[in-house]
């Protein structure tokens, strides 16, 4: 009887001891009650210094191999042909500048050194030649302002004037056929350019009789054509614009600019001789002209 109680008591005590041991080992909900152990600190490993590699420079042959290949030379394409005519800039072999705006008349002043060549701007026929400098500041006649000059009628039907010439080339006379680029005279200071730098008075108009001198002095603005002939397209022609201008104004429009000469002061008892160039003292040749016989555009 006593031995049976003892066995049951021993069983209960054993169970209690077993339960306590399990609780100490795992803690609540299976989590250990002991603080987690901290991993021992380890010493910082030695740092190995970086090794800088020396990169060799590429050889000239390697550099050449890396350069992009050069392309072919550009193909020069000629400018479009705008007319069947070919023109030349009217001053040859000299540095030039010229105005590109309307001042008094639709003409331009091409500044160039004295003696530079005035050349035919197109194939054509010489129309008028004035080899005498008749201009005088006392009267300032419009017909004399250009001094020595040459006009040609181009194969395009347009008239071109080069004035303020120092001289007219030998053999240049009315009716003579000339080629574009052929020398017609030398740039100078005749006419009312006497007190300015040497220059070429250049004008574009249409053929008229010499009596209508104001027409030859310029009816069409020339600078766009000069720009093209000098550095752009040598086939740009003033023919169309000149025909249109003539159609609006008529073949012989009235004079509207610089038409009347100055009044000549009353002559004294001993009139003074007008100033003229030395070469004109010996040359009393009048203006020679080729009268207008062919309608413009034919």
For the beta carbon of residue 158, count every other beta carbon within 10 angstroms.
Answer: 28
Give the separation between CA 251 and CA 245, rounded to whole angstroms.
Answer: 9
Determine the structural domain holding residue 173 and report its residue range.
Answer: 91-250+280-289
Residue 136 domain flag: yes
E-only strand ranges, 81-174: 91-92, 97-98, 108-111, 117-119, 124-130, 148-154, 159-168
Q: What is the tally of structural domains in the chain? A: 1
Write out the two tokens for 229.
């002939």
Indicate the SS3 state at residue 248.
Answer: helix
Residue 144 domain flag: yes
Residue 168 domain flag: yes
Distances 77 to 74, 169, 262 between C-alpha atoms, Å: 9, 37, 54
Residue 103 domain flag: yes
| Burial tier of 235 (Cβ tally within 10 Å: 0-12, 13-18, 19+) | middle
Beta partners for residue 150, in sequence order: 129, 162
Residue 102 domain flag: yes
Say how far residue 46 (Cα) sits from the centre of its chain.
Answer: 72
Residue 11 domain flag: no
Residue 170 domain flag: yes
Residue 75 domain flag: no
Beta carbons within 8 Å of 121's beta carbon, 6+ residues apart: 87, 88, 89, 90, 152, 154, 160, 180, 229
pLDDT of residue 184: 98
Write out the two tokens for 107.
């003409």
Beta carbons within 8 Å of 250's beta carbon, 6+ residues apart: none
Query: Tokens 């070469």 sit at which residue?
Result: 279
Query: Tokens 């992009």 sit at which residue?
Result: 68
The CATH number of the domain holding residue 163 is 2.70.70.10
Helices (H), the chain: 2-26, 60-66, 213-216, 223-231, 239-249, 278-282
CA-derived radius of gyration, the chain: 51
Query: Tokens 């800039």 sit at which residue?
Result: 89
Give the separation between CA 185 and CA 172, rounded to whole angstroms.
Answer: 8
Give the separation between CA 9 and CA 173, rounded to whole angstroms.
Answer: 159
Give the separation between CA 196 and CA 97, rounded to whole angstroms.
Answer: 15
CB 162 within 8 A of CB 243: no
Distances 68 to 58, 59, 61 between C-alpha atoms, Å: 16, 16, 13
Distances 264 to 58, 191, 211, 282 between C-alpha atoms, Å: 88, 18, 22, 25
pLDDT of residue 160: 98
Indicate the SS3 state at residue 147.
Answer: coil
Q: What is the pTM of this model?
A: 0.70
pLDDT per residue of the chain (298 residues) written in tens, 0 to 9: 445 555 565 565 555 455 554 444 444 444 444 544 444 555 555 555 555 566 777 777 666 666 677 778 888 887 889 999 999 999 999 999 998 888 889 999 999 999 999 999 999 999 999 999 999 999 999 999 999 999 999 999 999 999 999 999 999 999 999 999 999 999 999 999 999 999 999 999 999 999 999 999 999 999 999 999 998 899 999 999 999 999 999 999 999 998 999 887 665 555 555 555 555 545 545 455 555 445 455 5
């Amino acid at each position: 009887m006593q031995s049976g109680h003892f066995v049951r008591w021993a069983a209960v005590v054993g169970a209690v001891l077993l339960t306590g041991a399990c609780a100490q080992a795992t803690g609540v909900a299976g989590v250990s009650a002991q603080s987690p152990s901290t991993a021992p600190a380890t010493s910082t490993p030695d740092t190995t210094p970086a090794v800088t590699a020396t990169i060799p420079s590429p050889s000239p042959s390697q550099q050449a191999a890396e350069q992009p290949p050069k392309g072919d030379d550009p193909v020069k394409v000629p400018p479009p042909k705008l007319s069947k005519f070919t023109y030349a800039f009217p001053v040859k072999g000299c540095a030039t500048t010229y105005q590109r705006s309307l001042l008094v008349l639709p003409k331009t002043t091409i500044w160039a050194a004295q003696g530079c060549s005035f050349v035919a701007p197109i194939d054509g026929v010489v129309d008028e030649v004035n080899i005498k400098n008749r201009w005088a500041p006392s009267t300032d006649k419009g017909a004399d302002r250009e001094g020595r000059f040459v006009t040609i009628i181009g194969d395009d039907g347009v008239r071109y004037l080069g004035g303020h010439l120092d001289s007219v080339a030998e053999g240049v006379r009315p009716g003579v056929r000339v080629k574009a680029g052929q020398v017609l005279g030398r740039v100078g200071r005749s006419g009312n350019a006497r007190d300015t730098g040497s220059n070429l008075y250049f004008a574009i108009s249409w053929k008229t009789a010499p009596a209508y001198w104001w027409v030859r002095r310029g009816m069409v603005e020339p600078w766009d054509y000069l720009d093209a002939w000098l550095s752009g397209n040598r086939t740009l022609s003033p023919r169309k614009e000149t025909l249109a201008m003539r159609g609006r104004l008529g073949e012989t429009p009235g004079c509207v600019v610089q038409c009347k000469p100055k009044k000549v002061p009353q002559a004294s008892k001993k009139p003074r001789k007008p100033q003229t160039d030395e070469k004109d003292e010996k040359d009393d040749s009048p203006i020679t002209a080729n009268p207008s016989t062919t309608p413009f555009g034919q």
